[in-house]
Amino acid sequence: MVASYLRSAFFLCLCAAVGLTGCEPIQSDAYHDFEDDDPSARLAAITRAGRTRDEQAIPYLVDRLTVSEPEVRFFAIVALRKITGRTLGYRYYQPRHLREEAVLEWRRWLKEHGKASTQPKHTEQPAQS
């Protein structure tokens, strides 16, 4: 119960902090922020993409669904839902094998919508949970 409360409090603080980053659209050279070593930089890029409904960011967001940090996965699926109106069954908190099935659905969606070619060069390792 306490862990659940702390997780919720953490997400609320994170939402507030990321919300203060501004509303500027993502520039093409800023997509490297999705791969930054600093999770706060990734969260800022993810939040910007969702807020501006940046369709070019979709492949980067799909790649973020595979990371180990649950907060990054959470914000990525929220941004994807804002941009596409879909989650394709992805739940950031589910066990890894269930998340991987949903990520495969997202990768199929990317191909169907002609977005696979814009995927970033660097893809993070799948989460270990």
DSSP secondary structure string for all residues of 50-99: HHHT-GGGHHHHHHHTTSS-HHHHHHHHHHHHHHHS--TT--TTS-HHHH
What's the pTM value of the predicted model, to 2 decimals? 0.70
pLDDT in tens, 2-25: 455 445 545 544 554 444 444 444
Structure tokens given for 44: 């800022």
CA distance 89 to 93: 12
Per residue in 55-109, pLDDT tens? 999 999 999 999 999 999 999 999 999 999 999 999 999 999 999 999 999 999 9
Output the CA–CA distances (angstroms, integers) from residue 38 to 32, 35, 49, 95, 126, in the order listed. Answer: 12, 9, 17, 24, 17
28-118 topology per CATH = Leucine-rich Repeat Variant (1.25.10)
**pLDDT for position 76:** 97
Question: What is the rounded distance in angstroms from the CA atom of residue 110 to the CA atom of residue 36?
Answer: 23
Break the chain into its structural domains and give their ranges: 28-118
